[in-house]
C-alpha cells in the first residue's frame, strides 16, 4: 500500500490574498517614499540655511534651496530660527497627509533641526 504524500504550498485563494496585500503595501509605499525624499531635501536645506546670520538671511537661503530641490511642503517662513551659544539653529516641524481610502488617512509627522 502506498502512502499519500501531503501536498504543501499556497492555494489559489491564498495566492490572491497575499498578492492583494502586497499590492496594497506597494501602493502605500509608493505614496510614502516621495514624502521621505522631500524630508531629506528639507533636512539638507536646513543645514545650508544654518549658515545665515540673521533670520531673514536664513529664510532666504532655505527658500533658494527649496526652489532648487523642489520642496513644496514647507517654506522659509515655517522655520524656527534660534541661537544656541554662538551657533544659529534652524528647526522645522510639519505633517504630510496621504489619503488611503474613504475616511482613512495616513499622517506623516516630520521634525528636525540643524546640528
Digit-coded pLDDT (tens) for 71-102: 999 999 999 999 998 899 999 999 999 999 99
**Which residues lie below 8 Å from residue 70, measured CB to CB, with a gap of 6+?**
41
Q: What is the mean pLDDT of residues 20-26?
A: 96
pLDDT at position 1: 63
Q: What is the mean pLDDT of residues 41-56?
A: 94
Does residue 53 register a pLDDT over 80? yes
Residue found under cell 524630508: 39
Whose CA is closest to 17, among 25, 7, 8, 6?
Answer: 25
pLDDT at position 73: 94
Say if CB 109 and CB 74 are below 8 A apart. Answer: no
CA distance 90 to 55: 9
Amino acid at each position: 500500500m502506498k502512502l499519500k504524500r501531503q501536498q504543501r504550498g499556497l492555494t489559489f485563494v491564498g495566492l490572491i490574498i497575499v498578492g492583494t496585500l502586497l499590492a496594497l503595501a506597494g501602493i502605500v509605499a509608493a505614496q510614502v517614499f516621495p514624502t521621505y525624499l522631500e524630508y531629506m531635501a528639507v533636512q539638507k536645506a536646513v543645514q545650508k540655511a544654518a549658515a545665515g546670520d540673521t533670520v531673514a538671511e536664513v529664510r532666504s537661503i532655505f527658500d533658494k534651496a527649496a526652489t532648487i530641490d523642489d520642496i513644496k511642503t514647507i517654506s522659509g517662513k515655517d522655520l524656527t530660527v534660534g541661537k544656541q551659544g554662538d551657533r544659529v539653529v534652524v528647526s522645522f516641524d510639519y505633517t504630510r497627509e496621504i489619503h488611503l481610502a474613504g475616511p482613512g488617512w495616513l499622517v506623516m509627522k516630520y521634525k528636525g533641526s540643524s546640528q
